[in-house]
Structure 1
Amino acid sequence: MFKKSVICVVSLALAAVFTLNTGQAQAAERQFVSIAAGWVTGAYFPMAGAISRIAFNNLKDDNIKVTAESSGASVANANLIASGNTDFAILQNDVASYAYNGKEGMFDTPVKNLLGCASLYPEHIQIIVRKDSGIESVADLKGKRVAVGPIGSGTTVNAEQILSAWDISFDDFQAEQLQARQAADYIKDGRLDAAFFTVAVGAAAIKDIATVVDIDVLDIVGPKAQQLLDEYPFYTQQPVPAGSYPGLEEDSTTIAVMAIMAARKELDSDLVYKIMKAMYTNLDRIKEAHAKFQDISVENALDGMTLPLHPGAEKYLKEVAVVKE
């Protein structure tokens, strides 16, 4: 009886060790992949979330787990790629160009391990103003209380460039560097007169403002806007249609950049290829995540791309004939 008990205990111990070792081996084989997104209230986060869910459902056999990570958006995301602290990033095409080429004062060291995967959708630079603020043009921002995006964001860069076309700097008004949700709350309770948002039309943060106070979207038009377009060719003029937000009764015209997905150069080409393929063969799932994602298509994957392609992305885009051999 004693011998049988010892044999039983030893057998159970060996089984436990085998199970533990198997679990450790499986954990070791699993590949954890991160996507730096942006504010939870913007469009980057639901995009990264949709990609992570698609990867989970389609790459189970490859033992790949993709997670969406909130961040300070475009500039911060480029720096996360540079430091190796994320694998993929969603960011503006203008900021991506500055990072890769090392724009002085913004990226003093070029981020050469930042490579392109695909262009996604246009992001409108929307200057939201309270109707009772008396602001009717960009020039009227002088002397007001204005949110210009959080530190390290593409929104702040866009704000600086737009204002410079009107010979305005942050010193000409009370500038606040806030996250989108904070800026929305500050406009609603009267602590701000206006805020810059570089987000897809229909963004939740702006809709939230419009349900509480009357707003306008400033037009960015005329000779100064054309000067801006000439100086920065990654900008395009885009409409913000009436009805995009509660109470918005007239169309506005603003400028836009492209949201793109980039990858760390060091990432395995096979991994990037698989995630690209999973994305584009499940576009219906991505389009469910946000109204603006209706514009995403593989045919437009190179529109506004300002980075060299990652070899894995290039392989997939050649396969679908977007990149020609």
Structure 2
Amino acid sequence: MINRRQFLTSTGAVAAVAAMSACASTAPPTIRLAAGETGGFYHAFAQLLAATAARTDTLRIEPVTTAGSLSNLELLTRGEVDTALALADSVVAAAPGPLAIGRVYENYLQLVVRADSPIQRVADLRGTRINLGNIGSGATAIGEKLLRTVDLDPATAVTATHLPLRDAVTALLDHRIDALLWAGGVPTAALDIPATMRLIDLADVTATMRTRFGYLYDPVLVPADAYPHTPAVHTIGVANLLIATPTLTTSTAAALTDLLVAHPDTLIPTEAAGTQFLDVRSLIDTATVPLHPGAAQVYRRWHG
């Protein structure tokens, strides 16, 4: 038998443990989201998504800074993250595997040179030094395809480097490279094209890119003054997908999807207002990548 003091002590401990267990069971799940480089649109979007989730009682999101799409897919495959942002062409190439939560925005291929450069089109890149995106980024794979549209071998026709975006911008302005390629939102904060740089129009290669490499490459327009001093420029767009591992629970995937559908205005960086948007009709356009059952459940509820 135990005395009254022992009984009160033991029941108090049990109550405390029970209370802690109850709190733990009601705490919202936390998912890791593979984002992208600091200063890029992936990173900005992931931070906004995490901040929006923090204001709810359904989900917590931990953004993970990465090199980009290809790195994100590797992390997802290895089970080191639960969700990731990736270019649609990279995801399709990696299938089967990831499931889509939604198409979250459009990536713009941006080929940048110095303002005084003789480079006027992609074919002029022969013999130049070009940064084809950070190692592990989707821009690298797209850049190689872009060069092939004008019959330039990425291994021999150019000298390619793979610097992070901020370093590539510095290298371009310091004349250590002649061009840089970036795939991201418009405008991209870390790019912020000054008067000493300009964008190359890709209208002459867009149709060839689509014919040779598939329907995922869309003709899009970078609006005039999207960056200071820049005229409107035609380029190539690729959808960005928010994807998840198939092991993500239906309820957690649904909570994540609800964030996209219910809070679209909070998830677009201020500088990109007008060029990016979230809408149920565009969110479900995930190419050939199947929707996660939790996401499909939410879209049926919101859109029928």
Same fold, TM exceeding 0.5?
A: yes
Q: Give the counterpart of 2:240 among 259, 274, 281.
A: 259
Deviation at 1:72, TM superposition (A): 1.6
Q: Give the whole-Å Cα distance in 1 for the aligned partners of 2:128 and 2:19.
A: 63
* CA 1:288–1:11: 2 relative to 1, 3 Å: farther
Q: Give the counterpart of 1:306 among 273, 288, 295.
A: 288
CA contact (8 A) 2:112 2:181 kept: yes
**Alignment coverage as a number of residue pairs:** 297
Q: Give the whole-Å Cα distance in 1 for the aligned partners of 2:269 and 2:138.
A: 25
CA contact (8 A) 2:45 2:269 kept: no
* CA 1:290–1:20: 2 relative to 1, 3 Å: farther
Deviation at 1:24, TM superposition (A): 6.8
Match of 1:117 in 2: 101
Asked if 1:84 is matched to 2:84, the reply is: no
CA contact (8 A) 1:46 1:290 kept: no
* CA 1:39–1:306: 2 relative to 1, 3 Å: farther
CA contact (8 A) 2:264 2:277 kept: no
Gaps in structure 1 of 5+ consecutive residues: 1-6, 101-111
* CA 1:115–1:159: 2 relative to 1, 3 Å: same
Q: Give the counterpart of 1:126 among 110, 113, 121.
A: 110
Q: Give the counterpart of 2:157 among 158, 167, 172.
A: 172
What letter is aligned with 1:263?
A
Deviation at 1:225, TM superposition (A): 3.0
Match of 2:250 in 1: 269
Q: Give the whole-Å Cα distance in 2 for the aligned partners of 1:133 and 1:176.
A: 18
What letter is aligned with 1:93?
A
CA contact (8 A) 2:100 2:286 kept: no
Deviation at 1:320, TM superposition (A): 1.6
Deviation at 1:54, TM superposition (A): 1.8
* CA 1:194–1:20: 2 relative to 1, 3 Å: farther
More helix by share: 1
Q: CA RMSD in A?
A: 2.4
Deviation at 1:27, TM superposition (A): 4.8
CA contact (8 A) 2:206 2:218 kept: no
Q: Give the whole-Å Cα distance in 1 for the aligned partners of 2:153 and 2:72.
A: 25
CA contact (8 A) 1:39 1:70 kept: yes
CA contact (8 A) 1:56 1:65 kept: yes
Deviation at 1:83, TM superposition (A): 1.1
Q: Give the counterpart of 1:149 among 99, 117, 133.
A: 133
- When the two structures are superposed, what TM-score results if normalisation uses the length of structure 1? 0.83
Q: Give the counterpart of 2:34 among 33, 36, 41.
A: 36
Match of 1:55 in 2: 53
Q: Give the whole-Å Cα distance in 1 for the aligned partners of 2:8 and 2:269.
A: 51
What letter is aligned with 2:109?
I
Match of 1:103 in 2: none
Match of 2:61 in 1: 66
Match of 2:166 in 1: 181
Deviation at 1:26, TM superposition (A): 3.9
What's the secondary structure of 1:198's corresponding residue? Answer: strand
CA contact (8 A) 2:131 2:163 kept: yes
Gaps in structure 2 of 5+ consecutive residues: none
Deviations along 1:118-154, one digit per CA (max 9) or x if unpaired, are: 1111111010111222111111112222100111210
Q: Give the whole-Å Cα distance in 2 for the aligned partners of 1:148 and 1:288.
A: 25
Q: Give the whole-Å Cα distance in 2 for the aligned partners of 1:145 and 1:288.
A: 32
Deviation at 1:187, TM superposition (A): 1.5
Q: Give the counterpart of 2:278 among 296, 305, 311.
A: 296
Q: Give the whole-Å Cα distance in 1 for the aligned partners of 2:93 and 2:133.
A: 18
What letter is aligned with 1:41?
G
What's the secondary structure of 2:191's corresponding residue? Answer: helix
Deviation at 1:269, TM superposition (A): 0.5
